[in-house]
Amino acid sequence: MEDTVSDELVDTRLANGLTCALPASSPLAKLLRSQRTWVGPSAKERLRILRDAKSIAIVGASPNPARSSYFVGTYLQQSSDYRVYFVNPNATEILGQPAYPDLASLPEVPDIVDVFRKASDLPAVIDDVLAVGAPVVWAQLGIWNEDAARDGESKGLTVVMDRCLKIEHARFHGGLHLMGFDTGQISARRTLR
């Protein structure tokens, strides 16, 4: 009989919130690492975040009208009372406002930092957010990095991931069309087609 070296154990968080130690190379550990186990703020908590905020910085904002960050910036300027700041080191102006090279250059600490960057960039953005003292990081649709979210939360940040701030704002304020556009109407009545 051959002696086998025991596999390194890793603490794994299950969907129900419990943790257990599993061999790192086990199929179950690999499967659980590939699944989403982090849970962000509830709908009520997201509504509170949006209601309490006065300013939003969009990191990864683009001056290109075809980009989603441009669309979200336009919506926030036209459909909200937020002070909106655009962060892009390669732009000087976006939607008629100055673009800032980084969060530290903003004239105030934003209440929410809305992120339009790759998921792999999220840890660096969280470090920047912590450095300026903003309380909330909001990563847009498709941006998911559980390790970064857990790290940010452990350092006191509120983290929202894989949710569009524009869609959430419109949804909570009664103007969300199925396509994600603000209808400007609040009605429970179905319209005729």
Show the tokens assigned to 55.
């300013």
As a 3-state breakdown, the chain gives helix, strand, coil percent values, each rounded to 5, of 35, 20, 45
Q: Is residue 190 part of a domain?
A: no
Least confident span in 48-52, 90-94, 172-176: 172-176
pLDDT single digits (tens) 47-69: 999 999 999 999 999 999 999 99
By percentage, how much of the chain surpasses pLDDT 70?
Answer: 77
The number of folded domains in the chain is 1
Q: Tell me if 72 is assigned to some domain.
A: yes
Q: Is residue 91 part of a domain?
A: yes
Cβ contact 110:85 at 8 Å:
yes
Residue 21's pLDDT band, with cuts at 50, 70 and 90, is confident
Q: Domain for residue 105, yes or no?
A: yes
Taking residues 151-167, report their average pLDDT. Answer: 94
In a domain, 19, yes or no: no
* CA Rg value for the chain: 20
Residue 29 lies in a domain: no
Q: Which residue has the tokens 């599993």?
A: 22
Task: Give the structural domain span for 130.
Answer: 43-172
Confirm whether 87 is domain-assigned.
yes
CATH of residue 87's domain is 3.40.50.720
User: In the predicted model, what is the mean pLDDT of residues 7-25?
Assistant: 70
- pLDDT classification of 34: cutoffs 50, 70, 90: low
Residue 38 domain-assigned (yes or no): no
| Residue that wins the pLDDT comparison between 180 and 173 | 173
Q: Is a pLDDT exceeding 60 seen at residue 38? A: yes
